[in-house]
A and B are shown apart, each in its own frame.
Chain A
Amino acid sequence: MYSRTYKASVGVPPVLWVTVFLLVPYAILFCYSFWSVSPQQVIVHNWNLQNYLQLIRNPIYLTVLFRSMRVAATVTLLALVLGYPLAYYVSFHAAKRKDLLYQLVIIPLWASYLVRGYAWKTILGSDGVLNGFLQYLHITQRPVEFFLYSPFAVILTLTHIYTPFTFLPIYASLEHVPRNLIEASNDLGASPWSTLRRVVLPLSLPGVLAGATFAFVLTLGDFLAPLLVGGPSGIMISNIVVSLFGAAYNWPLGAAISLSLLLLVVGLLFAIERIERKLTLS
């Protein structure tokens, strides 16, 4: 039904896009991950598995990777716990304030990520807003140091940043829950709480899954929040990658870690896709 030229012309942009922005960079990264750095700090093209072996042998990488996953899981959980009730309220009970509330959740996304990171630095720092407030109330005598530069600060900052990312898909899926199902549930004797648990929650699971994926994957790969508020105990796997590509000048090892992380995430996405397909089928 479509002419060949039409098909070819609409088909070119995606192919081009995938090639230029995905395939070529990953191919380069892939090659790097099998090369090594000579003692003279030159990248040499002798193909070997040293980088991957080092990744497994050196406990620092796995430790940081597991910590990153733990942080990502915590942030995901918190973002869901915050995002779901928010989305539920806006979608079902906000009435006239619906659009306003929706915009208020979205607006922070327009502000630069860096600004939000710095904002938390200002709040949590030893001369920060939070410490000033606590001292003003005489709850603490000296500034509390552990607010900033800790995994706690990283989790707090990332939860703030990624909650809108869980809110949006959950909100979208809640908006798609037919309202007469809520009435049907009430009509059949289920209280509002019971309806939430037995109708709304199951029908919004695809949104929850999408939101969780956003939060987890974005947090796992995040390096700015640890850099700004994390301190030495808060560093995550991407900080290692950044330093390997930067000051440490070990691109091959950095590439190996990046690709391993990518593989991990792709595997996760596959698993989620399968769960989602099961959800929509039943």
Chain B
Amino acid sequence: MSAHLIRNSETPPAPVESLLSIRDVVKRFGNRDVLCGISLDIAPGDFLTILGESGSGKTTLLRLIAGFEQLDDGEIWMGAERLDPIPPYRRPVNTVFQSYALFPHLSVFENVAYGLHAKSAPKVEIPERVNQALEMVKMGEFAQSAPARLSGGQQQRVAVARALVNRPRVLLLDEPLSALDANLRRQMQIELKSLQREVGITFIFVTHDQEEAMALSDRIALLRAGLLEQVAGPREIYGQPSTVYAAQFIGQTNVLHAEVRDGIAHAGMIVWRCFGPGGRVPFSLRPECIRLVAPGTPGDSADVSTAHFRGRIKNQTFGGAMDMLEIDCGNSQVLRARISSPGPLSGEREFEFTANDAVRVRDGSED
């Protein structure tokens, strides 16, 4: 949605609307570069997800914002205030930890009140604010319980309340749902999202789960080996991935290595129209973009806005509403297609896809 707020190395410096501005941040552990120059701007009220595999540096980036790690180069700004020299206990951000990190010697109420006491909030305000925060996450009745007596999901809610009660300008969430089982996880995703809309606080959410990232985020920052691969909204990053890695990491895809000549792409026997310069270019084609053509339908071989090809059904996986087909197109080229369950299929069939659905991508973040 706010694509102009994204700053890559080519785009001009941070626009004024940016709340948190990460500029050329470098972090090393020993001689290993964990973050190799990250620049990212986050707008107020944004739900930004930092998505990446383990070891991509996503948690390190979050810990740099929280102040638990010191950066080796670059700057972090919050509005007009430089954040990175400030110790963590003076930063206007709060964190929800992966393992919740609730204080075992304090009750749920005292846990939530901890930040208010630490920041010397007016004593008369504290009980009301704590109860409000607990009500917000539907944990009001557990105020006097010990954290150890709560389930994982309940502890997670308390951790969120403990962070939000301080009214941080940015809430950092470090894989907060990873310890929960699948059902609870989906439920908490919905709750987190509506909570974020309700309080209007900027959320920075770290996860390795691309489905979670797509379900929750306004924007996704895809991190790969210490570099930002792509920063965009979920629909954009899914529909217009900029690299092979982004296309493969977010959702399933087919990568077609095509030879482009005179506005026509050739990948084996498959031919379609495309724009842009020629040469060897990888394309990403989502499985659901491939359609099954009814036998006997006359194909217009001159029309290059739609690609037609024949392939042998290698495998068919029933998936309820949608089946996954593996199509052998010859030349050891296998495409996967997701189509509305057509009943059992076999043998050679005719397929097609719209030329615009094959998205030109780059090989990696370096080039």
Docked Cα-Cα span, A188 to B114, in Å, equals 7
Chain B 75-100: CB-based contact to A (< 8 A → 1; otherwise 0): 00000000000011110011101010
Return the contact of A184 from the options B90, B103, B119 (Cβ within 8 A): B103
Docked Cα-Cα span, A273 to B281, in Å, equals 73
A-B contact count (CB 8 A): 69
Query: Smallest CB-CB separation from B91: which chain A residue?
Result: A187
**Listed residue (A183, A188, A189) with the most chain B CB atoms within 10 angstroms of its CB:** A188
Chain B residues with a Cβ closer than 8 Å to the other chain, count: 25
Q: Report B-chain residues with C-beta under 8 Å of the C-beta of A180.
A: 97, 99, 101
Q: Report B-chain residues with C-beta under 8 Å of the C-beta of A181.
A: 101, 103-104
> Do A186 and B88 touch across chains, with their CB atoms under 8 A apart?
yes
Docked Cα-Cα span, A270 to B95, in Å, equals 42
> Do A183 and B89 touch across chains, with their CB atoms under 8 A apart?
no
Return the contact of B68 from the options A178, A183, A192, A282 (Cβ within 8 A): A183
> Do A194 and B101 touch across chains, with their CB atoms under 8 A apart?
no
Complex interface residues of chain A between 183 and 226 (CB less than 8 A to chain B): 183-192, 194, 198-199, 202-203
Judge whether B146 is part of the interface by a CB distance below 8 angstroms. yes
| Given A188-B162, A282-B105, A282-B146, residue A183 in contact with residue B97 (CB < 8 A) | yes
Q: Report A-chain residues with C-beta under 8 Å of the C-beta of B166.
A: 188-189
| Given A181-B103, A183-B68, A183-B88, residue A188 in contact with residue B97 (CB < 8 A) | no
- Minimum C-beta distance from A38 to chain B (A): 60
Judge whether B45 is part of the interface by a CB distance below 8 angstroms. no
Query: Smallest CB-CB separation from A181: which chain B residue?
Result: B101
Chain B 104-120: CB-based contact to A (< 8 A → 1; otherwise 0): 11000000001100110
Q: Report A-chain residues with C-beta under 8 Å of the C-beta of B162.
A: 188
- Minimum C-beta distance from A140 to chain B (A): 48
Q: Report A-chain residues with C-beta under 8 Å of the C-beta of B20.
A: none
Q: Report B-chain residues with C-beta under 8 Å of the C-beta of A187.
A: 66-68, 88-89, 93-95, 163
Docked Cα-Cα span, A192 to B89, in Å, equals 9
Q: Report A-chain residues with C-beta under 8 Å of the C-beta of B118.
A: 185, 188-191, 194, 198
**Listed residue (A186, A189, A194, A198) with the most chain B CB atoms within 10 angstroms of its CB:** A189
Complex interface residues of chain A between 155 and 193 (CB less than 8 A to chain B): 178, 180-181, 183-192
> Do A189 and B146 touch across chains, with their CB atoms under 8 A apart?
no
Query: Smallest CB-CB separation from B162: which chain A residue?
Result: A188
Q: Report B-chain residues with C-beta under 8 Å of the C-beta of A198.
A: 114, 118
| Given A180-B99, A184-B95, A282-B146, residue A189 in contact with residue B89 (CB < 8 A) | yes
Q: Report B-chain residues with C-beta under 8 Å of the C-beta of A184.
A: 95, 97, 101-103
> Do A203 and B104 touch across chains, with their CB atoms under 8 A apart?
yes
Q: Report B-chain residues with C-beta under 8 Å of the C-beta of A192.
A: 89
- Minimum C-beta distance from B236 to chain A (A): 32
> Do A199 and B88 touch across chains, with their CB atoms under 8 A apart?
no
- Minimum C-beta distance from A231 to chain B (A): 45
- Minimum C-beta distance from B148 to chain A (A): 10
Query: Smallest CB-CB separation from A281: which chain B residue?
Result: B146
- Minimum C-beta distance from B90 to chain A (A): 8
Return the contact of A190 from the options B67, B68, B93, B114 (Cβ within 8 A): B114
Q: Report A-chain residues with C-beta under 8 Å of the C-beta of B66.
A: 183, 187
Return the contact of B115 from the options A183, A189, A199 (Cβ within 8 A): A189
- Minimum C-beta distance from B121 to chain A (A): 10
- Minimum C-beta distance from A163 to chain B (A): 26
Query: Smallest CB-CB separation from B174: which chain A residue?
Result: A180
Q: Report A-chain residues with C-beta under 8 Å of the C-beta of B119.
A: 188-189
- Minimum C-beta distance from B80 to chain A (A): 21
Docked Cα-Cα span, A4 to B104, in Å, equals 41
Chain A 264-282: CB-based contact to B (< 8 A → 1; otherwise 0): 0000000000000000001
Docked Cα-Cα span, A170 to B99, in Å, equals 25
Q: Report A-chain residues with C-beta under 8 Å of the C-beta of B99.
A: 178, 180
Q: Report A-chain residues with C-beta under 8 Å of the C-beta of B104.
A: 181, 203
Q: Report B-chain residues with C-beta under 8 Å of the C-beta of A183.
A: 66, 68, 88, 95, 97, 101
- Minimum C-beta distance from B124 to chain A (A): 19
Query: Smallest CB-CB separation from B112: which chain A residue?
Result: A188
> Do B105 and A190 touch across chains, with their CB atoms under 8 A apart?
no
> Do A188 and B94 touch across chains, with their CB atoms under 8 A apart?
yes
Q: Report A-chain residues with C-beta under 8 Å of the C-beta of B87.
A: 186, 191
Q: Report A-chain residues with C-beta under 8 Å of the C-beta of B97.
A: 180, 183-184
Docked Cα-Cα span, A187 to B104, in Å, equals 17
Return the contact of B103 from the options A186, A191, A199 (Cβ within 8 A): A199
Docked Cα-Cα span, A178 to B99, in Å, equals 11
- Minimum C-beta distance from A168 to chain B (A): 22
Docked Cα-Cα span, A198 to B95, in Å, equals 19
Docked Cα-Cα span, A186 to B105, in Å, equals 17
- Minimum C-beta distance from B68 to chain A (A): 5
Docked Cα-Cα span, A199 to B89, in Å, equals 14
| Given A199-B103, A202-B105, A282-B105, residue A186 in contact with residue B89 (CB < 8 A) | yes
Q: Report B-chain residues with C-beta under 8 Å of the C-beta of A203.
A: 104-105
> Do A190 and B89 touch across chains, with their CB atoms under 8 A apart?
yes
Docked Cα-Cα span, A264 to B362, in Å, equals 80
For the A-B complex with A188-B94, A189-B119 known, give 17 more contacts whose Cβ atoms are closer than 8 Å: A178-B99, A180-B101, A181-B104, A183-B95, A184-B103, A185-B114, A187-B89, A187-B94, A187-B95, A188-B115, A189-B115, A189-B166, A190-B115, A194-B118, A198-B114, A199-B103, A203-B105
A-B contact pairs, 15 of them (CB 8 A): A180-B97, A183-B88, A183-B101, A184-B97, A187-B66, A187-B68, A187-B88, A188-B115, A188-B118, A189-B166, A190-B114, A191-B118, A198-B114, A198-B118, A202-B105
B interface residues, Cβ below 8 angstroms from A:
66-68, 87-90, 93-95, 97, 99, 101-105, 114-115, 118-119, 146, 162-163, 166
